Structure formats: C-alpha cells, structure tokens
Amino acid sequence: MHLVTLQGYPQSSAGVVMGDHIVNLAACSHLFPEARCIPRSVRGILEGGDTALDLVRRVHQQIGSTTESLREQLHAHGALVPRVSARLLAPLPDTRLVLSCGLNYHKHLHEMGGSVPERPMAFSKSVNAIVGPDAPIILPKHYPDMVDWEAEFCAVIGRPCHNVSREEALDYVVGYTMINDVSARNWVGRFGAMQGMPAIEGWEQNLLGKQFTTFCPMGPTLVTKDELPNPDAVLIELKVNEQLMQSACTDDLVFSVATLIAHYSQYHTFQPGDVITTGSPAGVGFGRNPPIFLKAGDVVTLKGDGVGVMNNPVVGPR
C-alpha cells in the first residue's frame, strides 16, 4: 500500500492510493463500517500495528472491487479523490523523530573530500521543518545564498525498537519514504579546516543550517515494505528545474538500512512513525565545480522507486 496524508479542514486525514485516486479513509466510514475503526492519521495507523494496517487493506480491497454506483457515492462524499487534485501533506507530518544519517554514500564521500567513517553518523532534523508535496522551500532570511539539496531514502519504524540486531532490524520497519535534507551550506567550507572545540562548534553550526522552516520536504507517500522488499536496491533521483542532479542506488550505501537501525537502536528507543534517513548520494550543489545553490523560482523534483515523485518550488525569504 501507499499511505498518504490528505490536507483537510479542520483536520487532515489518512489516505491510501488506489490507481489514479486516493481513498480518504475517514470520509468513507459511512459506507464501510470497518473504516470507523481506522485511526485518522497515518501515524495513528502505524501505532495501531498490524490490526490497523489490516483494516486499511480490507477497506482498500473492498473499494477496489465495489460497484460503479458505490464508487459514485464515494466520489460524491469526498471519499475517493482524484490524485491530480488531491492536496497532500507529508505522509507523516506529525512524526516525533527524523533521525538523519550523514556521510553514508561512497560517491558522496568522494565528492565532499571525506573518508569512510568507522560507524554511522547521526543528527536530528527538526520535525517542525517537515513539509509535503508542492509546499514551498523558503530560503532563510539571513542565509539565502547557499541553500543545497540532498535526496534521502528513509525507513519508517512500525513498532517499538530498541537494541535490535542487524539481522532482525528490518522486522521493525513498516515501510519507506523520501525526504530532501535541504541544507544551508554557509559554514561547511570553514568547518573542514577546524580542530578541537572550534570543530565541534562548526559541526553544530552546520547542523543548524539544516533546521530552517520547510527544510524537510517528505513524501509523497509511505510505501509499505511488502511493496518494496529490498531497501538495498532502490533508485533515487533529484532534479532541479528538470535537470538531473542526483541519481543513485542504495547499493552504494556505506551502512545498509538494517545496519543503521541496529546501530542507532543501541541509543534510541524508536516508536511507530519514527523516520530514519540513509544519507545523501553524490550530486549535491556544494560538491560541484563551481557550486550550484537553490534560488527563488527553482523547482526541486524528488523521486524514489516505489515511493513516488513530488515537486517543491523554491521561494524567497519571507
């Protein structure tokens, strides 16, 4: 399945993709009584475990095999929405955690002049930076001139996870999504030459450049792992104004998805809906000669096999 979050007022609601339509699970409850037991949010569905996911599957299957007359009723009640007109938020707009891995593609390490780390690096991305498909990336007022892109494949946790082994790590994954780890690079050049405490301060400042509002586009869907069984062979792409900037396969990862989860779970107790990114592949703007950065008017297109494609326009400071 492909789970999404539909924008709505006063509340958003969980949905599931069905061909060229999206089923609004909350809006179909009057015709499908089982849907009344489905949590309203994607995170709520994940917290409900297999029981909630099975309910979603049953409703999805029932609608897929329903009569044309009933489909017309679903359309009339806003329970079956054309994908082209659906307004989507991030699939997990209310996640508690986006744990990001850095320096995890061999080719990206080469372009940035880094060496292969002994263990995975990590930092947290602000959940307040999350936006969904078509939402603007807003250039920050004081640092608008060196904003970069980073396409990242992500695992989504499906059940509480702590101190798990690499062999069992993927059992705790419910599915996958994509983020763009948008980053202001104003401090990266100076950081490489620092040592001691200045290096620590430089690293912290570099991470602050990843936390600005709108700097975590996510989506467009959360694809369940039964539809994407091998996270180590996923193609991802990022384009700026239709020009291909990043194209990679997750087989270039230094640390696999399972390895990342096992390592981080030594320290974190993950909960359903937590997002773990796998890092950026080669092709970032800072690594080019000359460097290229985002500017107002650009459109960033993010794609992940199985997850889908989404666009985010870039706008000037507000």
Same domain, 70 and 124: no
Same domain, 180 and 249: yes
- If one counts the domains in the chain, the total is 2
d(CA 260, CA 262): 5
Of residues 158, 311, 166, the one with CA closest to residue 232: 166
Same domain, 84 and 135: no
For 59, 191, 207, the CA distances from 246, given in Å and listed in that order, are: 37, 24, 21
Same domain, 51 and 148: no
pTM for the whole thing?
0.95
Domain range holding 61?
A: 2-89
Same domain, 135 and 279: yes
Of residues 77, 174, 91, 185, the one with CA closest to residue 135: 91
Of residues 9, 215, 6, the one with CA closest to residue 127: 215
Same domain, 152 and 290: yes
Looking at 66, 89, 112, the residue that finishes a domain is 89
CATH of the domain at 244: 3.90.850.10
Of residues 40, 25, 134, the one with CA closest to residue 94: 40
Residues 6+ apart with CB under 8 A from 268: 97, 99, 162, 274
CATH of the domain at 49: 2.30.30.230
Looking at 50, 69, 89, the residue that finishes a domain is 89
Same domain, 111 and 249: yes
Backbone angles phi, psi at 207, to 5 degrees: -70, -35
Same domain, 121 and 224: yes
Residue 42: half-sphere exposure toward Cβ, Cα within 13 Å: 38
- pLDDT (tens, 9 = 90+) of the chain, 318 residues, equals 999 999 998 899 999 999 999 999 999 988 899 999 999 999 999 999 999 999 999 999 999 998 899 999 999 989 999 999 999 999 999 999 999 998 899 988 877 777 788 999 999 999 999 999 999 999 999 999 999 999 999 999 999 999 999 999 999 999 999 999 999 998 876 555 556 655 556 667 889 999 999 999 999 999 999 999 999 999 999 999 999 999 999 999 999 999 999 999 999 999 999 999 999 999 999 999 999 999 999 999 999 999 999 999 999 999
Looking at 55, 89, 123, the residue that finishes a domain is 89
Same domain, 131 and 192: yes
Same domain, 302 and 211: yes
